[in-house]
């Protein structure tokens, strides 16, 4: 089975659709959504409707910090724009969407893989994995061969090695064999708000049988997404950053 792993959609419908149809063309048979389905973008309801359809068709879904924030609370640990977007999102969600978000688990497993929004060492604490030592803690806690995470909007691949934890910057479109005798932490990048200097949506495809992981970048119509953000009255900075991928 080929699993398309999509993280940090952030209510960006154009990017989500572009990645889903790209993954379908690549032969994806199963979809995993690693949280932060909403927040920042102007299409939370449309995105959640689409994801609910995938959920019925046995997609794997986990919760992200923005999804949790959209359900309530003060969001004191969020930046000003993120909080603005969360307040805006809350006002748009109906009972159905709220129940859907509330039903999402922190982690989910399939075979020897673990799917989680942030570091697997404390799933509800939303630890960022930006260094080898943080990746090491996540891998140590996961009890899985491969951990798939989002949260950090930069794609990267960490692996357990003799001298600690190795780090690799994946090249889009190049399959990487993930040997089952080693432990791996994949950060798949963000569908809806890439921040690594490229404005193309990021996701990854994992071929379970071949144990091959391929990171992809998918260009999408970010101009439309940005216009919708401005039209919705969300902070303009959220629209501008989509053009530059920052």
Contact residues: other proteins, CB under 8 A: 157, 159, 161-164, 166, 168, 171, 174, 176-177, 179-182
Q: In the numeric block, which tokens belong to residue 34?
A: 């690693």
Instruction: Using the minimum distance from each CB to other proteins, give the nearer residue, 25 or 181.
Output: 181
Instruction: Using the minimum distance from each CB to other proteins, give the nearer residue, 182 or 244.
Output: 182
- Cβ neighbour number for residue 141 with a 10 Å cutoff: 16
Q: Residues 229, 26: contact at Cβ < 8 Å?
A: no
Give min distance, CB of 15 to other proteins, in A: 25
d(CA 98, CA 245): 29
Instruction: Using the minimum distance from each CB to other proteins, give the nearer residue, 87 or 168.
Output: 168
Q: Could you report how far apart the first and last alpha carbons of the chain are, in Å?
A: 33
Tell me which residue has tokens 């399959």. 175
Give min distance, CB of 172 to other proteins, in A: 10
Q: What are phi and psi of 149, to 5 degrees?
A: -135, 165
Give min distance, CB of 155 to other proteins, in A: 13
Give min distance, CB of 166 to other proteins, in A: 3
Instruction: Using the minimum distance from each CB to other proteins, give the nearer residue, 98 or 211.
Output: 211
d(CA 44, CA 153): 19
Instruction: Using the minimum distance from each CB to other proteins, give the nearer residue, 1 or 161.
Output: 161
- Cβ neighbour number for residue 119 with a 10 Å cutoff: 24
Give min distance, CB of 182 to other proteins, in A: 7
């Amino acid at each position: 089975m080929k699993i398309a792993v999509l993280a940090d959609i952030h209510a960006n419908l154009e990017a989500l659709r572009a990645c889903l149809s790209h993954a379908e063309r690549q032969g994806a048979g199963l979809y995993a959504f690693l949280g932060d389905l909403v927040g920042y973008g102007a299409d939370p309801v449309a995105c959640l409707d689409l994801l609910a359809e995938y959920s019925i068709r046995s997609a794997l879904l986990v919760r992200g910090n923005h999804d949790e924030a959209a359900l309530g609370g003060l969001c004191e640990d969020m930046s000003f724009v993120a909080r603005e977007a969360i307040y805006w999102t809350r006002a748009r969600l109906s009972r159905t969407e709220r129940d859907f978000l509330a039903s999402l688990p922190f982690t989910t497993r399939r075979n020897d893989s673990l799917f989680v929004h942030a570091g697997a060492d404390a799933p509800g604490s939303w630890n960022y994995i930006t260094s080898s030592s943080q990746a090491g803690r996540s891998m140590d806690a996961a009890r899985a061969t491969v951990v798939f995470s989002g949260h950090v909007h930069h794609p990267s691949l960490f692996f357990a090695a003799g001298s600690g934890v190795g780090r690799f910057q994946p090249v889009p479109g190049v399959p990487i064999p993930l040997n089952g005798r080693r432990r791996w932490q994949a950060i798949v990048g963000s569908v809806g708000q890439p921040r690594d200097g490229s404005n193309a949506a990021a996701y990854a495809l994992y071929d379970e049988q071949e144990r091959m992981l391929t990171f992809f970048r998918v260009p999408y119509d970010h101009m439309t997404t940005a216009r919708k953000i401005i039209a919705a009255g969300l902070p303009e900075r959220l629209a501008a950053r989509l053009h530059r991928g920052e």
